[in-house]
Amino acid sequence: MAKFKLEELKKIYDRAKDVDSHIFSEQRTNILLKMGDHYKKGTKSTLNNLRQRGVISNEQKIRLTKNHIHRITNVYENSILDGNPSITAVPYNESELHDTKTAELNNAVLSWVKNSNNWKARQHRNVSDFVTIGEVFAKIRFDYDKGPIVGKDEHGKPVKAGEFVIDRAYAFDMKRDPEARDSDEARYWIHEETMDLKGYKKLVKRMNPDAVDKIVSSQNQTLKIFDTTTGKFAKAKDRVLVKELFIKPGSVIDGTTYDDGLYVMFTDKVKVHEMPLPFGIYPIITKGFDELPTSPRSASIIRVCRPYQVEVNRAGSKMAEHQITLGDDKVFIQKGTKISNGGYVHGVRAFQVSGQSPVIQPGRNGSQYLEYGLAQVKEMYDACDLGYVLEDKQTSGDPYQLLFQTMRQKKRFVKYVERYEQFEVEVFSTILKMAKHYLSPHHMIKIAGRTEMINIDEFKRIDEMGFEIKAVAQSGDIEEKFGKMLSITQTLQYAGSSLQPDQLGVLIKQLPYANQEQIFSTLTVDTDNAENTILSLDRGQYLPVLPSENHTMMLKALNHRMKKSDYRFMPDNIQQMYQARIQEHQAFFENERQKIEQAKMGMVPTGGFLTTVNASWFNPTTKRVERIKIPSQSVQWLVDKLQTQGVFNAELEGLPDNVQAQIGEGSQTLQAPTTLPGLQPKAEEQNIGGL
């Protein structure tokens, strides 16, 4: 892999910066326009002068801002957030247990990443960048300095487990490949940011100790930073401008192919670090609001609002100017005419006029601009497809009609909602690819729980074809949840009494608002154990049978798995493990049956009072047929034994026919093999000294 020289990196950066310089200026002013700062300077002092003195000089102009852009951008942002876009991992094939378990583990990882990144607050900022600036960027990395403490190093310092971090990157800080005509075609992105000089030196000292002395402070150069909180540029002190070059895997630049991509950190003075992208995964994710043709950049809805907002501000400013300069009524009198007080009457003030009557000119309020200003406001909302916002709201009426109107309004934003959802899909898809490499067993136990320890290998061996990421909007999700809840509750109502406890627990877990693992764990523990056992056997890991397992259910689950079409293509050693596992469960099942048979041969209790049963027998003592009288305890003992035997027979009848036949052949054929191909018995299970 060819290494870049510092001069080459500076040329790449300059080209990437110059190609979109006009867009960066627009993106920065978008932030000012949204917050109502439409004029750079002088507005506040001018307005104060007008309000206090009521005068205006020839050198000053009234510049009022009637900010509709803030409302329009908020409508778009709230419409996207109203859908509460969330990401979930769903299996490609829901009938495949491996895909289902993989999706469950990935959903646990997604939930952990969202919680550790405070994703709810970050989502609001992302949507704001998407709508206001026009582009949203995310930079994904794994930070080993975050997470819980898992130990100490050789110096006694704490060692942390590490966490995924989703950094926010502003669009005007991202420079792109000038030859790209689409965001997917961009071979590289360059992210620039200012860092504290001391913190940056520590970072460089860890990456490249030889480059620490070459780092210079911004005190030696003119460095201006755009402050997103004030919307103004400010001079930086004790800070350094850092550039990060991210080349996509498989890109070809100047005849060199970067199969795993490339990461380069540099400044104007030194190249700090260069390395292939970890695991060949590209960490920069971006999506735009309105794509610009033949360019990978995008524009905000504010681009549509700009010309209308200028006219609205101009009309409002002219109205204010007329009110200040021509607002008061004016009295015109002929030369020589005199006006004096003429006394007072209750509620009336009189004047005496000598000469021609005065002429009164009413003041002006600028109403001639009002109609034009309102027309510009309406046209702006129509251009943004938000004309319904200015319509009168219906406070009453048919609820179905109101629901239909709400659905129609939401359809206006489908394009932008889907684009933002795709951004989150790509972000978390990238994180799941990284998680396969970065997350340790400690992470997985903490994330998925100790009950999933056995399936850590299942998560580690997944590939991109093992799961699918799907965006689910909350508006549609509510309908799906209630529909799912209705169908399950109806099933429980009509068929709940005939379901086994484990089947009942599985159904209850599917209820959208009743999925509480601890509450229904006693009903679902057998199902969970069966799933984990099958996954282990498919991986070639044999787990011995425990006496406390539900042998009836395990026999059903194992036989069901063996009936699937892919079982015949499994290796011979795995098929033998399935047979051995079944034989062990049959042995335990036969052992329980033998205990019942032995109980039948025990002594019958003879206590209690005599009771007459509905049966007769020939009494050899009296030489006649009489009603049978036996002790009450004998009757109770017989009833208990019949009930126990009946339950066992019911379980036996519930097993597959081949299992019943094998159990009927006797316990001597049900002993599990002591060893399996590729599996060695444990030391405590081996015969030692002939014992």
What are 409-432's pLDDT values in tens digits?
566 778 888 899 889 989 998 998
391 touches 437 (CB < 8 A): no
State the greatest distance between any 2 C-alpha atoms of the chain, in Å, as a whole number. Answer: 159
CA distance 121 to 17: 30
CA distance 155 to 290: 53
pLDDT at residue 493 in the model: 67
For residue range 554-596, list pLDDT tens digits in order.
888 888 878 877 777 778 888 888 888 888 877 877 777 666 6
Q: Where are the domains of the chain?
A: 1-5+170-298
* Location of structure tokens 């000294």: 689
The verdict on pTM exceeding 0.75 is no
pLDDT at residue 435 in the model: 87
Name the token pair of 581: 């596992």
pLDDT at residue 174 in the model: 94
Give Cα separations from 334 to 241, 330, 340, 355, 359 (angstroms).
73, 14, 15, 8, 9
pLDDT at residue 168 in the model: 92
Q: What is the mean pLDDT of residues 32-45?
A: 69
Band (pLDDT 50/70/90 cuts) for residue 678 is very low
Residue 445: CB atoms within 10 A of its CB come to 14
pLDDT at residue 202 in the model: 82
CA distance 346 to 110: 79
**Which are the contacts of 123, defined by CB distance < 8 A and separation ≥ 6?**
81, 85, 424
* Location of structure tokens 């997917």: 184
For residue range 473-487, list pLDDT tens digits in order.
444 444 455 555 666
Q: Please give the single-letter amino acid code of residue 603.
A: M
Band (pLDDT 50/70/90 cuts) for residue 283 is very high
**Which are the contacts of 226, defined by CB distance < 8 A and separation ≥ 6?**
28, 172, 232, 233
Q: What is the mean pLDDT of residues 295-323?
A: 90
Name the token pair of 604: 């019958």
Segment among 120-124, 192-196, 341-345, 617-621 with least mean pLDDT = 341-345
CA distance 150 to 439: 13
Residues β-bridged to residue 326 = none
Name the token pair of 583: 């034989």
pLDDT at residue 479 in the model: 46
DSSP-assigned states of every residue in 149-193: EEEE-TTS-EEE--EEEEEEE-GGGEEE-TT-SSGGG--EEEEEE
Residues β-bridged to residue 167 = 139
For residue range 607-666, list pLDDT tens digits in order.
777 888 788 888 888 888 888 888 887 877 777 777 766 656 666 666 666 666 666 555
pLDDT at residue 473 in the model: 47
Q: How far is C-alpha 207 from the chain's CA centre?
A: 32
Band (pLDDT 50/70/90 cuts) for residue 347 is confident
Sign of the torsion formed by the C-alpha atoms of 369, 370, 376 and 377: positive
Q: Which is more confident, 523 or 541?
A: 541
Which of 70-79, 350-359, 492-501, 511-520 has maximum average pLDDT?
70-79
3-state secondary structure 482-522: HHHHHHHHHHHHHHHHHCCHHHHHHHHHCCCCCCCCCCCHH
CA distance 388 to 404: 14
Give Cα separations from 112 to 83, 447, 611 (angstroms).
22, 6, 68
